[in-house]
Amino acid sequence: MVRSALRNLLPGRATAETPHKAPRAADGEVLLDASGLTKSYAGADGELPVLTGIDLQVRAGEIVALLGRSGSGKSTLLRCLAGLIPPSSGTVAYRGTPLTGANPGTAMVFQTFALLPWLTVQQNVELGLEARGISAEDRAEAALQAIDLIGLDGFESAYPKELSGGMRQRVGFARALVVEPDVLMMDEPFSALDVLTAENLRGELMELWESGQFPTRAVVLVTHNIEEAVLMADRIVVLGSRPGTIRETFEVPLPHPRDRDSADFDDLIDRVYRTMTGRPKGTRIPGRAEPAGPEKRTPANTPLPAASVDGLSGLAEMVDHRGGRCDLADLAEELGLEIDDILSLVDALDLLGLAKVSEDDLVLTERGTTFADADVQQSKQIFAEAALEAPLVRLIATSLRQNPDRHLRAGFFRDLLAHHYTSEQVDQQLETATDWGRYAELYSYDADPQEYRLDESGTAK
């Protein structure tokens, strides 16, 4: 196995073969320790926080899942733990030593495979060993054993273009495991695969982990898939957004292999789901002060969800066909989607006053039911009235009305948003505002001069 082949190549390894299903050495030892970790990026008006006040330990013998909505800073946190990007403040320590660069005890598996297309499978797997100065003979032996461990024996001389997506990701796993990292970092490693391939690869990896043959002492998994987290992890860390904070941590006491049909499995999914979709009453997000009263909605504190009009309209109609109320988890399962895939649409319906989340259900409001039942022109009128309650849409429409020429360059709004969002977030905010305003006939947008114009003949005045 990879473990026995590499013990004599890499420093600090024991010489004994790992027995089948033996406990991993020093289970419970703190391998990674993030303390007061904050990460910010430069914005037009100073630093824009992505993560704040993160305290997290990763111990030998456990799988930790970082779960959260898109934009919660999961991948940023993973890269800080791997030493690929430095924290703005706070520390990340590996086995008690603060990091000053790349973490020597970790290896990364990415969502997008990240293989070099001009290298064979074996050559791709050998890359990490070559960087460590391992001899050609020794790294070839170790790579072949890693390839065999991950189920790619026979494909050593194949090039990435000859492989399916699942096989390419296996190469990514073999490349990471061949260096026997203390902690394997996985950034949504199954999300680019089809459902069956992902399920198969996930199951095989868990079998290796449980057998004691997995050549790593801990795993940190970034995912937006609640069921995946409950299926694999010993501990689930749920992140909140803007900025990313640890909202809640769930211990997972369920034995492996886990029974998805059990009541305990379903109960944990429901608990994690409630935490992801909304803050439980009486709780407080760490590091964020509670407002004294209702906060006025502004483009800064009320970002537009990444939801198209077609998407949110479709969801409203589906809920309407189910009597105006439906369980979100059941709906996502029926559609063959993950809950995270529809959360932005849920947020959009809530922001527009078309629906509310009650317990586990999405419930249409009176306005939402009328919107779902209306014809095209009526739905445009209803949507226009609702969209003006979204701060950025209202800002654009109001600014255009107050400008004598009835038009403004997109750069004006981009500069305003840059004080509160990263450049990527600004792009997303304006893309959503443009889609909503056009549909509502509040304003038009010309991409060539990048200019908004008031729609004088629109559905809402």
Contacts of 125 (CB under 8 A, 6+ apart): 143, 146, 147, 171, 174, 175, 178
pLDDT above 90 for 172:
no
CA–CA separation, 114 and 126 (whole Å):
14
Domain assignment of residue 220, yes or no: yes
CA–CA separation, 148 and 168 (whole Å):
14
Q: What is the pLDDT of residues 50-81, one digit of tens each?
A: 888 899 999 999 999 999 877 788 889 999 99
Domain's final residue, options 254, 277, 300:
277
- Token pair of 392 as six digits: 């950025």
Domain co-membership, 273 together with 381:
no
Q: Is the dihedral of CA 336, 342, 345, 346 positive or negative?
A: positive
CATH number at residue 325: 1.10.10
Domain co-membership, 209 together with 340:
no
Domain co-membership, 438 together with 327:
yes
> What b/e sequence results for 267-283 when a residue is b if at least 16 CB atoms lie within 10 Å of its CB, and e otherwise?
ebbebbbebbbeeeeee
Domain co-membership, 325 together with 263:
no
CA–CA separation, 73 and 67 (whole Å):
10
Q: Read off the pTM.
A: 0.69
Domain co-membership, 54 together with 179:
yes
Percent of the chain with pLDDT over 90: 22
Domain co-membership, 142 together with 100:
yes
Domain co-membership, 161 together with 235:
yes
Domain co-membership, 253 together with 317:
no
pLDDT of 433: 92
H helices present in 328-390, as ranges: 328-334, 339-351, 366-373, 376-387
pLDDT of 137: 86
Domain assignment of residue 295, yes or no: no
- Token pair of 456 as six digits: 């004088």
Domain assignment of residue 368, yes or no: yes
Cα 124 to chain centroid distance, Å, stands at: 26
Q: What are phi and psi of 288, to 5 degrees?
A: -130, 125
CATH number at residue 132: 3.40.50.300
Domain co-membership, 319 together with 265:
no
CA–CA separation, 336 and 394 (whole Å):
35
Domain assignment of residue 218, yes or no: yes
Domain of 160?
2-277
Q: How many domains in the chain?
A: 2
The secondary structure of residue 280, as a DSSP letter, is P
